[in-house]
Chain A
Amino acid sequence: MMKLSLGPILWFWSKQTVFDFYAKAAEWPVDTIYLGEAVCSRRRELKPDDWFDLARDLKACGKEVVISTQTLIESEADLRRLRRICDQNEFLVEANDQSAVQVASRHHIPFISGPSMNIYNVATLKVLAKQGLKGWNLPVELGKETLEQLINGLKQEGLELPAEVFAWGFLPLAWSSRCFTARHYNLPKDNCEFRCLQHPDGMELRSRESRELFRLNGISTLSGSRYDLTRELPEMERMGVNTVRLSPEHQGMEEVVKRFDQVRRGEVPATDPLHLVEAPPCNGYWYGKPGMDLIR
């Protein structure tokens, strides 16, 4: 049976909200939990040691835990945090850029590549396997055809590298040195007053015709529609996908996890509506179309 994972929380939530979320997640039918700050260096409600304590608790509850690293590494302070995450031997690390690959491999820490690592071909997977890659996420803009070719290519090479697919949530699409939340409030990034805390699911960016385009989330930009590959699970299982990633949201997550758990067990999910943040669904990337499209 395919595994279910909870990706790192991409939003900025208070320490208590994060603890409450994972206290509940410990009981959910997810196999793997990614922990840590993957977006902004200024988000420090939890210190590295808080994350490690949380990781140990979740491990004790039977979860596989992976510590995520920041996606855009820009400063010496970013590198210090990265080294701190790799200076341990209890947990796998999610490498979200080449800085993390370099530091993890130097510390001989096995790692999983996150969706922002540019893995578009088998030769790239071979390079990373030599550095300690133990699993990989498909970049969000790639679809099932490429995924199948990659999985088959790995088989031909005799490489055992489990594939993970971002299957539910707002897609992380871009990272900048500019903070769009601070920009909205006319605040400098270095003195942002941590406004992201007021937006636990980001800020909607719409066209002037009120079409949901993106979600602004600090320095990152996410999709305005929610990627949903629920119905593709049987296809993924057939292709040999190892893990299906669900991206945390602050409401309704338990129902989402339960629904995916049912589907992976071949059961028909209940049709009662989920209580989610309102956003249209999309699945275009999976079919090689514009990501925002919904193919029915």
Chain B
Amino acid sequence: MELVCPAGSLPALKTAVDNGADAVYFGFRDSTNARQFAGLNFNDKRAAEGIEYAHSKGSRVFCAINTYPQPEGWEQWKRAVDRAAGLGVDAIILADMGLLDYAASRYPNIPRHLSVQGSATSYEALSFYKDNFDIRRAVLPRVLSLDQVRGVAKHSPVELEVFAFGSLCIMAEGRCYLSSYLTDESPNTRGACSPAKAVRWHETPEGLESRLNDVLIDRYGQGESAGYPTLCKGRFEVEGSVYHAIEEPVSLNTLDLLPDLQALGISAVKIEGRQRSPAYIADVARTWRQALDNLERTPGMFTVENDWRNTLSGLSEGGLTTLGAYHRKWK
């Protein structure tokens, strides 16, 4: 299995490569990709440098152009595909059907990967993308249980990549409009969920409040650690009780599932987090590299080592990790 790591900047890209990433993925510095953060991502010059570095070390580079262009943005998004092609990336990660069609007809020789934002949760959906755009690989949404991944993998016409570690989206990706309902930006339209520009923090007598476009997402009492106000991870009131009504602030960690994923024929595991620092990327990439190497060396004998677990939980949201939907009980 391949290790695919995020690169939000050139230092992060180099760090990922140096720490054992088989491939890295990046986006351009605009809303053509699903991690539009101020100060993050690549212009063409930086991208060219990154690609050269990765290739010199034997790693591959994927370019994510995985938001949905509206007519006004169509030329810009098309140009992003042209730029990626011109830079010599090893694959383009796409979600929009129109853009997939453009990439497939204009650059048939550059592999296309279906982004998780393409929201393909069945092998029939994968066949749709394979038949129409000849995709090589698809990234599966984080909503599937291991049994469901097994079902998809058994009949999949394409290589599969699954999320291994990082932030956990609990909604089917690519079809979640919660962020644009509370703010004017969503992952699909602007590559942003719960955008930082809409976030405000207030110290109040009742505690520290986090708000998104003035909507109270959470309020933290003394000693509670505060997290970024991703709107689905707040505490809300339903029928008189206040709780994490949608999801707790936890991270996804599938180290324990590696042998299962390998047995299912999964081609690659993906680390989430282009918004993360190079130091974070170094720790995560190194840990997963060790785990994957261990899996290769000792088939059937794989165990998760304690220091891997400690490293990863230290890097997780709220210090907590979950198998997410891979684990049926989570539901």
Residues on A lying within 8 angstroms of B by beta carbon are 71-76, 78-79, 82, 97-99, 101-103, 116, 118, 120-128, 131, 139-142, 145-146, 149-150, 153, 171, 173-180, 182-184, 188-190, 203-211, 213-214, 216, 221, 223, 284-285, 288-292
Contact = CB atoms under 8 A, between A and B. Distances in A.
Nearest to B147: A75
A214 B181 CA distance: 10
Contacts of B95: 118
Interface string B164-206: 0000001110111110111110101100000000000000000
A161 to B, nearest CB: 14
A33 to B, nearest CB: 24
Interface stretch (B47-55, B125-133, B254-262, B284-292): B125-133
Contacts, number: 214
Contact of B216 (A76, A211, A284): A211
Interface residues of B, number: 69
Nearest to A292: B181
B212 to A, nearest CB: 10
Contacts of B120: 98
B124 interface: yes
Contact of A97 (B101, B121, B132): B121
Contacts of A214: 178, 181
A120 B215 contact: no
A177 B175 contact: no
Nearest to A122: B71
Contact of B238 (A177, A216, A285, A288): A216
A291 to B, nearest CB: 4
B10 interface: no
Nearest to A123: B98
Given A121-B69, A177-B144, A214-B178, A99 B124 contact: yes
B65 to A, nearest CB: 13
A127 B172 contact: no
Contacts of B224: none
A292 to B, nearest CB: 6
Which among B180, B189, B219, B247 has the greatest number of chain A C-beta atoms within 10 A?
B180
B172 A178 contact: no
Given A178-B331, A206-B237, 20 more contacts: A72-B121, A75-B148, A97-B125, A120-B98, A120-B188, A126-B101, A127-B97, A128-B97, A141-B188, A145-B72, A176-B171, A178-B325, A180-B246, A184-B245, A206-B236, A214-B181, A288-B184, A290-B182, A291-B181, A292-B182
Nearest to A118: B68
Contact of A121 (B70, B122, B129, B329): B70
Nearest to A77: B151
B245 A102 contact: no
Contact of A124 (B97, B175, B177, B245): B97
A153 B71 contact: yes
Contact of B175 (A116, A150, A291): A116
Contacts of A205: 236-238, 245-246
A116 B182 CA distance: 18
Nearest to A120: B68
B181 A79 contact: no
B178 A127 contact: no
